[in-house]
Amino acid sequence: MMILGGGLVGSRVAQLLEKEVEIKLIENNQNRADELASDLKNTEVIHGDGTDANLLVMSGLDSTESFIATTGDNETNIISCLLAKHLMNRNNRDLQAGHGKTIALVNKEDYLVLASTIGLDIALNAKISAANEILKFIRRNELLSVAHLHGVDAEVVELKAGPGSEIARKPLKKLASYFRQHNILIGGVEQDGVWKVAVGSTQVQPHNRVVAVCSSHQLKKVRQLFN
C-alpha cells in the first residue's frame, strides 16, 4: 500500500496498518518525512512529490495494491490518484479484483460529484472522514464515495451491493420499515450502466451501485445493508 501525505490522517493510517501490510508513505516535507521515518518503524517513508510519475514508479507503485492520497490539497489528492491509477493499469493490465484501488480525501463537494466519472475508485469527504473510517473502506469494497450536506446532518453515500447482502436479497419495498426506522432514503440505482430512480419494486442486484441519503450517525446502518 502506498500513502501520499504524512499529516494526521496519512500517518495514522500507516500506524494502524503497518503491522498488517507493507506500507510506503510519500511526504513532500523533508522535516516531516524525517519525523515519520523515526516514528513509523515498519513503514518505508519516502521524501518527494507524489504527483511525480517517476517517483511513484521508482517507489514501487507497480507492486502496490492500493494508493491513498491524504494531503490537505484537493487537487493534489485527485491528480495523484488519477496518475497512480493510470500507471498501475498501464503496468498491470491483469489486475486482480480489489488491486489497484485509489482512495482520495476530497474536501470540495463539487469534486466529489465528479470523482467516480473521472476514474477515482473511492473519494472520501475529509470533513467527515477519519483514519479509522478509511480503514473500514479499505477492508470492504462496498462504499464508493461519501459527501456531507452542509447545513444539515446528512450524508450522501454511493455504495456497491455485495453478493448475499441484505439489499440484494429483496425488493426495496420489503425493506421499507428498516428505511423508515433509520431515516434512510435510497435515491438511485445503477443497473446495466444506466442510473434509475429507485422505487418500491426496484430489486438491487449484487455489484449494482446505489446512492443513499442518511443522517451521519446512521451511516453504519446503511453500510450493513450492503455487506
Residues 108 and 169 in one domain: no
Residues 151 and 132 in one domain: no
The pLDDT of residue 173 is 93
Residues 154 and 131 in one domain: no
Residues 95 and 8 in one domain: yes
Domain end among 98, 122, 139: 139
Q: pTM higher than 0.85 for the full model?
A: no
Q: How far apart are CA 120 and CA 114, in angstroms?
A: 9
Residues 110 and 199 in one domain: no
Average pLDDT, the chain: 82
- State yes or no: pLDDT of 143 exceeds 90: no
- State yes or no: pLDDT of 106 exceeds 70: yes
Q: Which domain holds residue 220?
A: 145-227
Domains: count for the chain: 2
pLDDT range class, residue 59, cuts 50, 70, 90: very high
Residues 130 and 175 in one domain: no
pLDDT range class, residue 93, cuts 50, 70, 90: very low
Grid coordinates representing 37?
521515518
Given the DSSP bridges, would you call strands 66-69 and 101-106 parallel, antiparallel or unpaired?
parallel
Greater model confidence, 89 or 151: 89
The pLDDT of residue 97 is 42
User: pLDDT tens for residues 177-200?
Assistant: 999 999 898 888 888 878 888 888
Residues 130 and 162 in one domain: no
The pLDDT of residue 96 is 45
The pLDDT of residue 127 is 57
